[in-house]
Amino acid sequence: MKDTAERPYHHGDLRHAIIETTMEMLTEDGNWQFTLREVARRAGVSHAAPYRHFPDKTALLAEIALIGFDRLQNALRAVQAKSDRDLTSEFFAMAEAYLRFGRANPALYRLMFGGELAPAGDLHLNPRALGAFEIVIDLLERGQAAGVIRKRPVRGQAAACWAQLHGLTMLSLDGLLLSEKVGDGAVEAAMETLCDGLAS
C-alpha cells in the first residue's frame, strides 16, 4: 500500500490541504508554535511538500492571517448588506460582528494582529487585510454625508473605532473585562461612548 505521504495531489489540492491542516492546528493548539514538519505529517504529505507552495512557515502563517482578514471582511459585509438598518444600528451591528469574530477565532485573531509576522506593515497593507478597514471607512463616510457623524478626517475616526474594537476584543479574549472592575455591560457602554464621540 502506498504511503499517504507520497500520494499524488491534483493541482491546488496540496496547497488547500496544507492551509486547512494549519487552520485546524491553529484552532486546536491555540497558538502557532507547531513546525512545518508537523503540518506535513498531520496533512499526510511528505515533509518537503509544504515548501512547494510556501517558502517558510512565516509565509504560510501570513496566508492564514489573510484568510482571517477575508473572513472578518465577510462578517462585516454581511452586516453592511442589511439595508433595513439606520446608520447607528449598522454601527453597533458591525461592532458586534467584529467582536463576535474575535471571540469565535481567538488564535486566528491573535495571529492576524500579532507582531510575529514581520514585517507586519506588509501584511496589513495587503488589499485583503485592508478590506475590513475600508468597510468601516465607508460607514463613517456615509454617516458624515447623512449628518449623523461629525465632520472629521475619516481615517482618524476609523482608527479610533479600530483601536476601541481591537482593545475590547483583546480584553475579552484575555478574560480581563471583569464586571467587578468595569461593571456589567462594559462592551455596550464602551461602544455607546465611542458612538457619542463620533456623533455630530
Can you tell me which residue has the cell 483583546? 170
User: Does 77 lie in the same domain as 139?
Assistant: yes
User: Does 143 lie in the same domain as 91?
Assistant: yes
Retrieve residue 145's grid coordinates: 454625508
The total of other beta-carbon atoms located within 10 Å of residue 105's CB is 20
- Parts of the chain with a pLDDT under 70: 1-12, 83, 118-121
Q: Which 3-state string (H, E, C) describes the chain?
A: CCCHHHCCCCCCHHHHHHHHHHHHHHHHHCCCCCCHHHHHHHHCCCCCHHHHCCCCHHHHHHHHHHHHHHHHHHHHHHHHCCCCCCHHHHHHHHHHHHHHHHHHCHHHHHHHHCCCCCCHHHHHCCHHHHHHHHHHHHHHHHHHHHCCECCCCHHHHHHHHHHHHHHHHHHHHCCCCCHHHHCCCHHHHHHHHHHHHHEC
| Cα distance from N-terminal residue to C-terminal residue, the chain | 71
Q: What is the CATH number of the domain that holds 71?
A: 1.10.357.10
Q: What is the pLDDT of residue 194?
A: 94
Residue 98: give the domain boundaries.
65-198
Could you tell me the pTM of the whole model?
Answer: 0.89
Q: What is the pLDDT of residue 115?
A: 79
Question: Are 45 and 14 in contact, with CB atoms under 8 Å apart?
Answer: yes
User: Does 114 lie in the same domain as 193?
Assistant: yes
127 prior amide bond cis, ω within 30: no
Q: What is the pLDDT of residue 121?
A: 66
Q: To the nearest whole number, what is the mean pLDDT of the chain?
A: 90
Q: What is the pLDDT of residue 69?
A: 97
User: Does 153 lie in the same domain as 79?
Assistant: yes
User: Does 90 lie in the same domain as 112?
Assistant: yes
